[in-house]
Amino acid sequence: MKAIRLLNDDLGNSYFESGTLPEYHKIEVEYFNIQTKIEPWQQEQHTAPREQFVVTLKGKLEFTTSEGNTFIIEPGIILIAKDIDGEGHSWKILDGDVWERVYIVPRHNDLDYFVAD
């Protein structure tokens, strides 16, 4: 499955990698939650509150890294948010005003199984 991973470099800048998550890997999780509400602060520059997988169910978004690079998230693309330090990222909805998503929080320091392109 297509995936994009957000990370921090040594200076705290956020950047992204495109790749995939292989099928049939068991990823242990602590919990997950569903969210549809959009808080204004979420669209401003911010870090991920914790390492998490974000599964978009509805919506198309453009994410921007702290260095100004952009990528698109929509259903069928898993976001692995690991930019928990530094300046973080921002996003905006491209179509409509809805972002339905599931946040899945893996156990601390577990592998994410991401394979870069």
pLDDT band at 35 (very low <50, low <70, confident <90, very high): confident
As for how many domains the chain has, the answer is 1
Q: What is the pLDDT of residue 43?
A: 74
Q: Does this model's pTM top 0.85?
A: yes
Region 38-51: what's the mean pLDDT?
Answer: 84
How far apart, in whole angstroms, are the C-alpha atoms of residue 86 and residue 9?
Answer: 9
Q: Round the CA-based radius of gyration of the chain to a whole number and report it.
A: 13
Does residue 39 have a pLDDT over 80?
no
As a whole number, the mean pLDDT across the chain is 92
pLDDT for 1-22, tens place per residue?
999 999 999 999 999 999 999 9
Q: What is the pLDDT of residue 8?
A: 94
Q: Which residues, 6 or more positions from 114, have their beta carbon under 8 angstroms from its beta carbon? A: 3, 5, 17, 19, 20, 21, 80
Closest of 57, 55, 41 to residue 106, by C-alpha: 55
The SS3 assignment for 2 reads strand
Which residue range forms the structural domain that includes residue 79?
Answer: 2-116
Do 71 and 83 contact (CB within 8 A), yes or no? no
CATH number of 29's domain? 2.60.120
How far apart, in whole angstroms, are the C-alpha atoms of residue 84 and residue 44?
Answer: 15
Helix H segments across 1-117?
Answer: 40-43
